[in-house]
Amino acid sequence: MKKIVVLAKQVPDTANVTGDAMKPDGTVNRAALPAIFNPEDLNALEMGLSIGRKLGFEVHVVTMGPPKAVEILKHALYMGADHVRLISDRRFAAADTLATSYVLSEAVKKLGEVQLVLAGRQAIDGDTAQVGPQVAEKIDFNQITYVTQLKEVAADHIVVERDGETRSETIRTGFPVLLTVTAAANTPRFPNAARMLRFFRAGLESDFSKEELETAEPAGWVIPVWTLDSMGLDPARCGLNGSPTKVHKIKSITLKGTDLQLFEGNKAGIQELVQNIVKDYVEVER
Amino acid sequence: MSNYYNSSRKLHFSQLALEPVVRNLEHDFENSGADSLRSMEEALTWYDMLLNNAGKIAGDFIAPRAEAVDERGCSFENGKVSWAPETKENMDMLAQSGYMGAMLERRFGGLSMPVSVNNIIVEMISQADASLMNLYGLQDIAVTLQKFGSEEQKQRILPKFAKGEVSGAMALTEPDAGSDLQAVSLKAVEKDGKWYLDGVKRFITNGSGDVLLVLARSEAGTTSGRGLSMFLCEKSPAIVVRRIENKLGIHGSPTCELQFNMAPAELVGKRKFGLIKYVMSLMNGARLAVSAQALGIAQAAFEEAVEYANEREQFGKRIVEIPAIYQMLKSMQAEIETSRALLYRTGLAVDMMEVYERKAEAGEKVKSELKSATALADFLTPLSKFTISELANRAAYDSLQIHGGVGYMKDFKVERLLRDARITNIYEGTTQLQVVAAIGFLVKGLFEKEMEEVRTMELPDLQKEQALTVSLLDKTLSAIASVHEMENLEFHDYAATYLVEMASILYRLKLYLPIAEQNPDKRGILKFFLMEADARITDLDTRISHLKKQYGNDISVLKDDFLK
């Protein structure tokens, strides 16, 4: 069966940041923040579900993360995803976008028969917007980033609008293709009541006792997990080992508003504006 | 991001002894399929998810559309009724989220949700957009069909309701049959074993819907309620919408005048049981839903008032600090909190009645249980509607007052709340009719029996409050007796409004005392409410005894000035 894969991420709810959101070493203190479904990944899933229903494609959701990330997979099931899968291994930890896109691209390949990959434009914890494009490169799909609207769905093509910064672009594309989706694209559906009933008991195999598994397996409550070994991945390209990005230091910078300043609308004025911004807000460490 | 499933709703829901209801709905937890609940714990987990999800839909999706719904309203062109586009979006979202068959059995694609849970969903939806409740609440049509329809009718119609593919209407009211439904005259004619409906219905909420339950006179020549039967009538060219009403509030729901031109119909249940059994059941469901709608409006009005009173500064301070303002807020808060206890308890009473109805249907010997459960539901339903629909009006009124001049303008939400609240104490039986429906249970002793436990409750931290409640109860019981012993029907009817209000206050005290005992943070509300209750019951009691002294059996002279 033809498949749509939605790449999802569980992220700390950065809209509800409290005092201890950062650890002293400059990494995110995930324990201090509620974990949520990355908002734009919900838009990607919504688009996946609506295309999937129209074309009869199966909708798969995969996430790479710790066992706790199963929560967003359950949410995806409540919304209507046909299959969900957790990609989890201690050796995936501390992955940057390069290592993450390697693992996710291998998952897409392993699933097979994938026509469409959808991802949120960016995650609210890293804000890089790089994972989607890197996956597209690795699986050799065309990519359309910053999708703001799904305009047409047909058996052999879709038409989308993307935000091209200075203007919007309308693009018609065949399959396979990868899209990264923005919040403007749609309103994600809410969980479905009957699907919540069917799946609220879902979890990882380790969450069930042996006896419980006898009911849980046929009911579809056991969420499958792929690991580094089960996917046959190269450990050197995963997690910290596969991540050339190194965070040197993170500082908390508070921006303070000052008086309104007006600049001339000519080249000299703009130059002055840019210099002021650099002087006030850009910190360069040497 | 707002979730209307707030801590007060959670607390009051947690008070309900739901287990017998859930056991009955879930077949004693004996089914083991993926779509079955296997324990009370699982049920509560799922209900909590349902309520949280509905709270988010109400807060994040429905509420932001409410202003547009109110402004656009429904339209009527070329005989076709259209909802506001935002109403359509709301209904589509509720259908997609699976809530349109909330109380239908799962075999019809429903959720088998207790009334108690749905009640809270109705309340939250109404807080977001009161007019949407009128469409969501029409699930009661499907529920009535589930109770009284034939298996064939159920199989054919109910799954479409559950998917949200069809909407319904209950067509009862006629130009000359409003509060007095016994006067219904729309004709049902039987020809060659088939039924046809002929006549006019008025003020039909969503009369343009696909599936109508129609009360009609099947027994030609009769004039009483016993000549009426209930019919299922699907949309056809033989049903013409003549007009939609231009209303003060609830603009999102179309109120239609319908002309039936020998429209094909099917009998529901038994002939002649239309009014006395089926409509009574339908109407009680609708009254509960209107009570929940009213409480949602009251909650919205209260929240708007608190927010505005904190923002607005006059005389160098926030107006929330002014006694005349927080006086209104405190009263709203206490009334809403105690009314929520009453509303949820009423939902449970309806649930319990239905449990025994289903047991009786299945052949179990539960006659006396069914009788007392029905009596309690029949008492609490009008008591709730009486109490809460009046509260919604007062809360909206005071909230607008707190807003001052801007509250009178369309720019603020509160003027819509005021308009929407106004219908709640009129439709599905006016406040005055709720009094008629409730008063019998005061006279016949159910109220007294229900209140007995307030004397023996274990309330170690609230002994003084308990004692005061008991003394107010005694005062009320003797007021009831003193009116009853006059054996004067007119005086009895005159005093009924006062007595039912006293009963409402006491019943809410009975429900709120244990809540305040368990939750120290609720004691402030209890104490304030009790102080007000003391004053009000004393006032009403005094009024009754003065009336008795001054007019007694001559009470009817009070109407003389108005007779023309």
Query: If pLDDT is split at 50, 70 and 90, which confidence band does A95 have?
Result: confident
SS3 helix, strand, coil % of chain A, rounded to 5?
40, 25, 40
Domain ranges of chain B: 7-165+276-421, 168-272, 445-558
Do residue A192 and residue B97 have CB atoms under 8 angstroms apart? yes
B-chain residue closest to A16, CA distance: B1
* Residues B299/B293, Cβ–Cβ less than 8 Å: no
Most B-contacting residue of A45, A197, A200, A213 (CB-CB within 10 A), to test interface = A197
Domain spanning B168-272, CATH class? mainly beta
Do residue B93 and residue A189 have CB atoms under 8 angstroms apart? yes
- Residues of chain B with C-beta less than 8 angstroms from the C-beta of A191: 49, 53, 97
Do residue B98 and residue A220 have CB atoms under 8 angstroms apart? no
The distance from CA A23 to its chain's CA centroid, rounded to whole angstroms, is 23
Q: How far apart are CA B374 and CA B389, in angstroms?
A: 22
DSSP sequence for B276-315: IIIIHHHHHHHHHHHHHHHHHHHHHHHHHHHHHHHH-EET
Reported as a single tens digit per residue, the pLDDT across B467-520 is: 999 999 999 999 999 999 999 999 999 999 999 999 999 999 999 999 999 999
Q: What is the pTM of this model?
A: 0.93
Place of tokens 């580094």: A228
Q: How far apart are CA B117 and CA B37, in angstroms?
A: 15
SS3 helix, strand, coil % of chain B, rounded to 5?
65, 10, 25
Contacts (Cβ under 8 Å, ≥6 apart) of B462: B513, B516, B517, B523, B526
Topology of domain A3-242, per CATH? Rossmann fold (3.40.50)
Residue pairs spanning A and B at CB distance below 8 A: 50
B-chain residue closest to A192, CA distance: B97
Do residue A191 and residue B42 have CB atoms under 8 angstroms apart? no
Domain ranges of chain A: 3-242
Domain spanning B7-165+276-421, CATH class? mainly alpha
Place of tokens 């049902």: B188
- Do the first three CATH levels of B7-165+276-421 and B445-558 match, i.e. the same topology? yes
- Residues of chain B with C-beta less than 8 angstroms from the C-beta of A196: 46, 49-50, 53
Domain B445-558 architecture:
Up-down Bundle (1.20)
Sign of CA dihedral A243, A248, A249, A250: negative
What's phi and psi for A220, nearest 5 deg? 80, 25
Predicted ipTM? 0.93
Contacts (Cβ under 8 Å, ≥6 apart) of B553: B486, B488, B491
Q: How far apart are CA A228 and CA A220, in angstroms?
A: 24
Place of tokens 């005021």: B418
Query: What count of other Cβ atoms lies within 10 Å of the Cβ of residue B497?
Result: 17
At residue B422's C-alpha, the angle toward residues B247 and B303, to 5°, is: 120
SS3 at position A191: coil
User: Nearest by CB to B50, which of A193, A201, A220?
Assistant: A193
SS3 at position B242: strand
- Residues of chain B with C-beta less than 8 angstroms from the C-beta of A221: 34
pLDDT block averages, 10 residues each, chain B of length 564: 94 97 96 89 97 98 98 94 97 96 94 97 98 92 94 96 93 90 94 96 94 96 94 96 96 96 96 90 91 98 98 95 97 98 98 96 96 97 98 98 96 97 96 96 95 97 98 98 95 97 98 98 98 98 97 95 94
Reported as a single tens digit per residue, the pLDDT across B130-159 is: 999 999 998 889 999 999 999 999 999 999
- Residues of chain A with C-beta less than 8 angstroms from the C-beta of B97: 189-193
Supply the pLDDT for residue A3: 97
Most A-contacting residue of B49, B51, B121 (CB-CB within 10 A), to test interface = B49
Q: How far apart are CA B176 and CA B393, in angstroms?
A: 27
- Higher-confidence residue of A46 and B277: namely A46
Question: Is the minimum CB–CB distance between A191 and chain B shorter than 8 Å?
Answer: yes
* Residues B341/B512, Cβ–Cβ less than 8 Å: yes
What's phi and psi for B71, nearest 5 deg? -70, -45
